[in-house]
Structure formats: structure tokens, C-alpha cells
Amino acid sequence: MYTRLKLDQNIPVGTVVTYNSTSEKWEQATNQNTLVGIVKTEPMQAEGDDFFTAEVHFTGVVYAIASRDIPNEGGMMFVEAGGVYVDTEATQACGIIAPIPYNITDIRVAGESVMVHLK
């Protein structure tokens, strides 16, 4: 499920975002304690608009930017600095980071896109 939302033009695809009621835009999320979505398309400006919009997903499978290295087995998804990471000690996860596919041997490092399932 996604919807097109207002955000800054410099937010990359895969960034985790949350709503800022002061700016009335979706911006980089710092944690998973509020409603979060993941930017699915490059922000674009429609002709005549003075703002940018992008598709933002709120549930289902989508790719997000890892903020830390991701273990091969994946795990519960947490959010920091617009990215996702696995924390085996924390509670209140907002999704799942998928395990690494069987035919991939490289580790998934910070800055790469990883498959997640938002819940």
C-alpha cells in the first residue's frame, strides 16, 4: 500500500520517513515510534507546484536503506537516521528485514538497500 505524499526533493528512494506537523511534510525518520513509511520513487515536482511528492509505502514488501550492517538471517526492523537496522535486544519493531537470499554471499552493509516487510 502506498500513497503520493509531500516531501523534500533531496530524500532518496529507500529512506524511512515520518510526518512533521510543523513543516507539513514527510521527512527522514529518527525512530519507529511514530507512523513510518518508505520512499519508493524519486521525488518529483508537478508542473505548477512549488513542492515535491513521491510514492511512500506503509505496508508490505519494499526496499529500504540499511543504516547498519545487516546480519544474514535478517531480523526485526528498527529505524534510525532514515535507515533500517536489526536489533535483537529491542522491542517495538515496525517490520522485518528479510534474510539474505540463498544465492548471495556478500554481507549487506550500511548504505545498501535491503528487503523489508513493513507491518
pLDDT of residue 79: 97
Quote the pLDDT of residue 13.
98
Please identify which residue in the block is written with the cell numbers 515535491: 52
1-119 carries CATH number 2.40.300.10: yes
pLDDT along the chain (119 residues), means of 10: 90 97 95 96 92 96 97 95 91 92 87 95
Report pLDDT for 15.
98
Q: CA 78, CA 86: separation in Å to the nearest integer?
A: 6
| Closest C-alpha among 111, 26, 105 to residue 64 | 111
Using alpha carbons, select from 71, 104, 105 the residue that is nearest to residue 96.
71
